[in-house]
Amino acid sequence: MYTLRQLSTADRADFRQLRQTALTVDGDDFMLTAEEEKAIPRLSIEAALEQPGKCNFFLGAFTVDPTRLVGIAGLLTSDFRKTRHSGRITSLFVHPAHRRCGVARRLMERLLVQAGEGGLRSVRLEVVADNRAAIALYELLGFVPYGREPAAYRMGEREWDLLLMTRNCAP
């Protein structure tokens, strides 16, 4: 059993800890390494914890007993007039011990509902092109690819492409 709610500054320590788990367990799927992120005192995305808005927030999935943050998903939106109609989904992650239980899907469904209710016309995301499970979830939720960024990530000689995906929110 899981509960979902919007995260706030009170959740910052748990949020950062879960992100460190994400960067350690699924490091290929994130732009920063765990070491790089640990060295940053305040992430720019933490603004969505400090001053959440109707289309600028993080959701958290919590176990019920004991209460523990096990999943996150963020929606970030610009205040610029020409781009504020579209949001960017970021940082979807579910702790490995809680995968295959529908947590990621519930987080995304709630996020998409809130995006539509907040007036967004579309949302977009980037996913490592080899992450078949994530791509399958996004396609199930109505996302379609609109591009691919070759070698978007590189570490040493290893490179990762990003698949760019979008989904309409408007009825």
Q: What pLDDT, on the 0 to 100 scale, is given for residue 134? A: 96
Low-confidence ranges of the chain (pLDDT < 50): none
- Cα three-residue angle 109-100-3, rounded to 5 degrees: 50
Q: Please give the Cα distance from 45 to 76 (Å, whole number).
A: 8
Q: What pLDDT, on the 0 to 100 scale, is given for residue 171? A: 64
Q: Please give the Cα distance from 50 to 58 (Å, whole number).
A: 10
Query: What DSSP line would sit under the chain, residue for residue?
Result: -EEEEE--GGGHHHHHHHHHHHHHHSGGGSSS-HHHHHT-SS-GGGHHHHS-BTTBEEEEEEETTTTEEEEEEEEEE--STTTTTEEEEEEEEE-GGGTTSSHHHHHHHHHHHHHHHTT-SEEEEEEETT-HHHHHHHHHTT-EEEEEEEEEEEETTEEEEEEEEEEE---
Q: What pLDDT, on the 0 to 100 scale, is given for residue 118? A: 94
Domain at 2-168, CATH from 1.10.3470.10, 3.40.50.720, 3.40.630.30, 3.40.50.450: 3.40.630.30
Domain ranges of the chain: 2-168
Q: What pLDDT, on the 0 to 100 scale, is given for residue 123? A: 98
Judge if pTM exceeds 0.85: yes
Residue that has been written with the tokens 């579309």 in this structure? 122
